[in-house]
Amino acid sequence: MNSKKYWIIFKNGINLQLINRLDFFTGFIAEAFSLLIMIYLWLSVYRQGSQIGSYSLKALIVYYVISKLIGLIVKTGNLPKKINMIIKMGELNNYLVKPVNLMFNMFFFNISESIVRLAALLIITSPWYPYLFSNILLIDFTIFAFFLLISISINFLIFYMIGILTFFLDEIIGLASLFSVIAAFLSGLIIPLDIMPAQLKIIVGILPFQYIVFVPIKILTGDITAHTLNSAILGGMIWVLILYLLAIYTYKSGLKKYEAFGG
């Protein structure tokens, strides 16, 4: 893999993100509203003297803030729709005749978006560092940063594959919305997975979504034993591999059906 061309794609992605600064901050305000409601909801629950699982009020608030941050970092935006249009409008021809891989192109572009969001979020949330990260160890933070790459990759590969399904389904917007709803819930973005009912926990355990939000938060907050950490890292990497192979297989099978209209 020639890394220079992907470095240029990455840099272009960053520049493009910086053009839409206003849109980014508007999106951030929107997320802040939904975070506010969650915090008030749980404050209300704890004011009644209730306890949610093993979470203290502070632990739950920290969970939601970090989950929002991770959600913003890993999000793929309209990736499936973008791929859908590339295939439907025949723009894929440009990728086929150039030495650029569609998946890596999209991935590095996606990573550039994540980096810009991460940088902006680190600045915006800095006044709350003492509250959010006071109990977080450097070692946990380092493992978390590494695991975040796994999270980004899993989320990216799922939605990339949905986009690629355009080869077979023609229209994938419905599938993309279905998966984004399911991923948000089963990744732990809406509610911590360990307070879910037992039946749901079984489903969550066999799917890759938990590695997107829930597991990274547990790593960052240190609520994970060394043994579980090893299996979480291994599990995450296996899912990246499985999804990667599936994505390549789907793409290759799709190309056989591709009729290169337009372009």
Length of the chain: 263
Per-residue DSSP letter, 55: B
Task: Identify the residue among 2, 4, 22, 199 touching another protein (CB under 8 A).
Answer: 22
Question: Least distance (Å) from another protein to the CB of residue 180?
Answer: 8
Q: Report residue 109: phi and psi, to 5°.
A: -65, -45
Of the two residues 70 and 150, which places its CB atom closer to another protein in the complex? Answer: 70
User: With contacts defined by CB under 8 A, how many residues of the chain interact with another protein?
Assistant: 43
CA distances from 105 to 63, 100, 242 (A): 32, 7, 20
Closest CA to 68 of 196, 158, 190: 190
- The stretch among 24-32, 89-97, 106-114, 247-255 that binds another protein (CB under 8 A) is 24-32
Three-state DSSP at 261 gives coil
Of the two residues 53 and 241, which places its CB atom closer to another protein in the complex? Answer: 53
User: Does residue 241 interact with another protein by CB under 8 A?
Assistant: no
Q: How far is CA 30 from the centre of its chain?
A: 18
Question: Least distance (Å) from another protein to the CB of residue 70?
Answer: 18
User: Does residue 245 interact with another protein by CB under 8 A?
Assistant: no
- The stretch among 38-46, 152-160, 215-223, 228-236 that binds another protein (CB under 8 A) is 38-46
What's the rounded Cα separation, in Å, for the pair 41 and 34? Answer: 11
User: Does residue 202 interact with another protein by CB under 8 A?
Assistant: no
- The stretch among 8-16, 95-103, 127-135, 192-200 that binds another protein (CB under 8 A) is 192-200
What part of residues 42-61 is at the interface with another protein (CB under 8 A)?
A: 43-45, 47-48, 50-53
CA distances from 42 to 112, 149, 222 (A): 34, 30, 22
**Do 49 and 190 touch, CB atoms closer than 8 A?**
no
User: Does residue 173 interact with another protein by CB under 8 A?
Assistant: yes
Give counts: helices (H), strands (E), the chain: 13, 0
Structure tokens at 6: 């992907």
**Do 137 and 222 touch, CB atoms closer than 8 A?**
yes
Task: Identify the residue among 12, 15, 26, 231 touching another protein (CB under 8 A).
Answer: 26
Residues found near another protein in the complex (CB under 8 A): 19-20, 22-24, 26-27, 29-31, 33-34, 36-37, 40-41, 43-45, 47-48, 50-53, 169-175, 177-178, 181-182, 185, 190-191, 195-197, 200
